[in-house]
């Protein structure tokens, strides 16, 4: 399934009006760590899906996401002053609420209704699981899905903010349906991933441990299934369109623009006695996976020190946007082909005005089972740490 440049652009470009960008705008996306917005620092620059925005919290406690450039003369609202009713541009004081409505234009004549003609682009925001989430699509907004790992109360959660990915979001997602790489790329991580063994043959790694692998659709994405020769069965999903649920965690890939991606993880650790926990997640900021941390291939060195560093190497060295027109796909890549076909199918659904896969409309919907229990009890205990 060699793609043309046009096919590749269809699947990878995320800006306003692009097919994949319009699809991704149908989902809530985490755009910031909630604790990063404080009384002392009530604004934060956010770039997501190719749009420059400012996240802010006014003095009434309301959070908003608004265009970076003030509609008046284009000064950045990142430097705006938050007030009880919204954010006031530092340049001329034009005041906006969280919906982007202009409430005041101070220099206009007394009694002027000019402010009623001004509207800034703004998007809904909600706080959940230690994040601020934003929805950039058409109204009405869907519900934030209640995936098991996100809403179970019998455990602790930790959020990891990974370093900026210098590549397109879809390269990380294709990795999530590429089971063949686990036993090859991660073979040197024997202690953490593959039972403490060392491969006798670095070409084959631990490929011969696997009897077979398969993929099948579920309501919220693609379930990946490995069957090992020792009888172990591993099943964990790609939650469409931008989440991998593996072991006791979810990895969320948020496109910043066509060539950069934010990468967050939410880890869940169940309490031993089933005790319910009511607390904010712990926040961890991971160190760079390359030296220098701001460099790009080939002008940086990937540490390869652990599983995720190895994955990041594989994602970024494909290029800012992988050129899929020169690939040579094989039978082991059928999960990648399945994801590409699914993404194209869901783009077409959006273009017909329909909801794409895994959109939930009922905010009171039941918890969504992603096979987490099986991963925690049968898989993680023996193969903890894999990111495959």
Question: Looking at the predicted structure, is the pLDDT value of residue 388 above 80?
Answer: no
Question: Looking at the predicted structure, is the pLDDT value of residue 384 above 50?
Answer: no
Mean per-residue pLDDT, 11-29: 98
Question: Looking at the predicted structure, is the pLDDT value of residue 243 above 60?
Answer: yes
* pLDDT the model gives residue 383: 43
* pLDDT the model gives residue 199: 81
Which tokens go with 108?
């206009």
Query: What predicted TM-score, i.e. pTM, was given to this entire model?
Result: 0.93
Q: Which long-range contacts (C-beta less than 8 Å, at least 24 apart) are formed by 280-283? A: 280/34, 280/35, 280/130, 281/129, 281/130, 281/156, 281/157, 281/158, 281/159, 282/156, 282/157, 282/158, 282/159, 283/33, 283/35, 283/130, 283/158, 283/159, 283/161
Mean confidence (pLDDT) of the chain? 93
pLDDT band at 376 (very low <50, low <70, confident <90, very high): low
pLDDT tens profile 140-166: 999 999 999 999 999 999 999 999 999
* pLDDT the model gives residue 173: 98
Question: Looking at the predicted structure, is the pLDDT value of residue 294 above 60?
Answer: yes
Question: Looking at the predicted structure, is the pLDDT value of residue 45 above 90?
Answer: yes
CA angle 53, 58, 64 (to 5 degrees): 35
CA distance 15 to 341: 21
CA distance 199 to 386: 16
Pairwise pLDDT comparison (279 vs 188), residue with the higher score: 279
pLDDT tens profile 181-211: 988 898 885 544 555 677 888 899 889 889 9
pLDDT tens profile 90-139: 999 999 999 999 999 999 999 999 999 999 999 999 999 999 999 999 99
CA angle 341, 347, 352 (to 5 degrees): 125
Question: Looking at the predicted structure, is the pLDDT value of residue 387 above 80?
Answer: no
pLDDT band at 379 (very low <50, low <70, confident <90, very high): very low
Q: Judge if the upstream peptide bond of residue 298 is cis by omega within 30 degrees of 0.
A: yes
pLDDT band at 242 (very low <50, low <70, confident <90, very high): very high
Mean per-residue pLDDT, 337-358: 98
* pLDDT the model gives residue 224: 94
Structural domains in the chain?
Answer: 33-134 (2.102.10.10), 148-383 (3.90.380)
DSSP letter for 316, please. H
CB 209 within 8 A of CB 301: no
CA distance 265 to 245: 10
| Residue whose token pair is 């003095």 | 59
- Measured from the Cβ of residue 179, the count of other Cβ atoms closer than 10 Å reads 19
């Amino acid at each position: 399934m060699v793609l043309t440049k046009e096919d590749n652009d269809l699947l990878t470009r995320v800006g306003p009006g692009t097919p994949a960008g319009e699809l991704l705008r149908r989902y809530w996306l985490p755009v910031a760590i909630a604790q990063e917005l404080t009384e002392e620092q009530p604004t934060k620059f956010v770039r997501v899906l190719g749009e420059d925005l400012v996240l802010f919290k006014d003095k009434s406690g309301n959070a908003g996401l608004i265009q970076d450039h003030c509609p008046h003369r284009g000064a950045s609202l990142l430097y705006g002053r938050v007030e009880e009713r919204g954010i006031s541009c530092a340049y001329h004081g034009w005041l906006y609420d969280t919906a982007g409505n202009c409430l005041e234009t101070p220099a206009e004549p007394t009694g002027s209704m000019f402010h009623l003609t001004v509207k800034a682009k703004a998007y809904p925001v909600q706080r959940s699981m230690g994040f601020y989430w934003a929805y950039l699509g058409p109204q009405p907004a869907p519900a934030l899905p209640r995936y098991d790992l996100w809403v179970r109360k019998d455990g602790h959660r930790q959020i990891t903010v990974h370093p900026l990915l210098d590549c397109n979001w879809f390269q990380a997602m294709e990795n999530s349906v590429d089971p063949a790489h686990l036993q090859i790329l991660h073979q040197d991580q024997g202690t953490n991933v593959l039972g403490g063994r060392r491969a006798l043959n670095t070409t084959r790694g631990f490929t011969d441990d696997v009897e077979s692998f398969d993929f099948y659709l579920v309501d919220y994405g693609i379930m990946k299934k490995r069957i090992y020769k020792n009888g172990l069965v591993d099943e964990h999903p790609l939650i469409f369109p931008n989440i991998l649920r593996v072991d006791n965690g979810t990895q969320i890939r948020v496109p910043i623009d066509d060539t950069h991606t934010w990468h967050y993880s939410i880890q869940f650790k169940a309490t031993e006695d089933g005790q319910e926990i009511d607390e904010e997640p712990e926040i961890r900021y991971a160190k760079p996976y390359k030296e220098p941390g701001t460099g790009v291939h080939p002008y940086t060195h990937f540490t390869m020190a652990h599983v995720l560093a190895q994955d990041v190497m594989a994602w970024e060295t494909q290029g800012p946007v992988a050129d899929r027109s020169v690939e040579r796909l094989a039978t082991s890549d059928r999960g990648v082909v399945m994801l590409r076909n699914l993404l194209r199918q869901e783009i077409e659904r959006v273009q017909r005005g329909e909801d794409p896969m895994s959109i939930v409309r009922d905010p009171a919907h039941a918890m969504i089972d992603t096979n987490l229990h099986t991963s925690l009890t049968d898989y993680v205990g023996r193969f903890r740490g894999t990111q495959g």
